[in-house]
């Protein structure tokens, strides 16, 4: 795929990229529940979730309905976090389409750093959150192969 193909694919996808929050929590009972309570009190819905636990701390990756509100909350409450854009791909045929999605990225020789499913089903379809080494390239490869890359507006309706 040449640069013209990539730029034409990315320019056709409108909207805000999906933003993921990585929250750094102490590994103690109730730490994650307190985060969920804080989000619920602010009317924020958790749409996707991945937890990586260790003896000392936990990294919780979240895709939420309102990332701007969450960033503000975390800053105000002094909760350590990181925010980054991530790809979310709709799987129209459900989980059966997951190998095709991953194979598309494999053929393009792009690395997937981590992957997790969304809790909600945007427009009734299963969806995967993908952290790839280059979001623009991954997005264009998936779009060219016929996959729908979702935007924050698709998730926050």
Question: Is 82's pLDDT higher than 60?
Answer: yes
Q: How far apart are CA 69 and CA 80, in angstroms?
A: 15
Q: Are residues 135 and 58 in the same domain?
A: no
Q: Is there a contact between 63 and 118 (Cβ–Cβ < 8 Å)?
A: yes
Q: Tens digits of per-residue pLDDT, 35-81?
A: 999 999 999 999 999 999 888 889 999 999 999 999 999 999 999 99
Q: Are residues 75 and 107 in the same domain?
A: no
Choose one of 84, 104, 124: the last residue of a domain. Answer: 84
Find the mean pLDDT for residues 90-97.
88
Cβ burial 75-108 (10 Å sphere, 16+ → b, else e): eeeebebeeeebbbbbbeeeeebbeebeebbeeb
Beta-bridge mates of residue 48: 63, 118
The residue count for the chain: 157
Q: Are residues 67 and 94 in the same domain?
A: no
Q: By residue range, what is the domain housing residue 59?
A: 19-84
Beta-bridge mates of residue 117: 128
| pLDDT computed for residue 9 by the predictor | 42
| pLDDT computed for residue 13 by the predictor | 67
Q: Are residues 147 and 131 in the same domain?
A: yes
Q: Are residues 45 and 90 in the same domain?
A: no
Choose one of 84, 102, 120: the last residue of a domain. Answer: 84
Q: Are residues 26 and 69 in the same domain?
A: yes
Q: Are residues 71 and 116 in the same domain?
A: no
Q: Are residues 59 and 118 in the same domain?
A: no
Q: Are residues 24 and 73 in the same domain?
A: yes
CATH (domain of 144): 3.30.2130.10
Q: Is there a contact between 89 and 142 (Cβ–Cβ < 8 Å)?
A: yes
Choose one of 50, 84, 118: the last residue of a domain. Answer: 84
Question: Number of folded domains in the chain?
Answer: 2
Q: Are residues 72 and 133 in the same domain?
A: no
Give the 3-state secondary structure of the chain.
Answer: CCHHHHHHHHHCCCCCCEEEEEEEEECCCCHHHHHHHHHHHCCCCEEEEEEEECCCEEEEEEEECCHHHHHHHHHHHCCCEEEEEEEEEEECCHHHHHHHHHHHHHHCCCCEEEEEEECCCHHHCEEEEEEECCHHHHHHHHHHCCCEEECHHHHCC
Q: How far apart are CA 53 and CA 72, in angstroms?
A: 25
Q: Are residues 97 and 80 in the same domain?
A: no
């Amino acid at each position: 795929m040449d640069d013209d193909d990539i730029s034409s694919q990315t320019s056709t996808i409108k909207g805000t990229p999906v933003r993921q929050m990585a929250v750094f929590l102490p590994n103690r009972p109730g730490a994650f529940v307190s985060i969920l309570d804080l989000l619920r009190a602010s009317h924020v819905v958790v749409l996707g979730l991945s937890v990586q636990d260790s003896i000392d701390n936990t990294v919780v990756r979240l895709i939420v309905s309102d990332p701007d509100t969450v960033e503000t909350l975390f800053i105000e409450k002094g909760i350590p976090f990181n925010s980054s854009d991530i790809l979310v791909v709709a799987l129209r045929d459900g989980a059966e389409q997951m190998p095709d999605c991953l194979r598309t990225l494999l053929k393009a020789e792009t690395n997937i750093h981590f992957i997790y499913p969304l809790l909600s089903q945007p427009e009734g379809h299963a969806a995967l959150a993908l952290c790839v080494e280059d979001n623009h390239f991954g997005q264009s490869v998936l779009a060219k192969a016929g996959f729908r890359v979702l935007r924050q507006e698709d998730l926050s309706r």
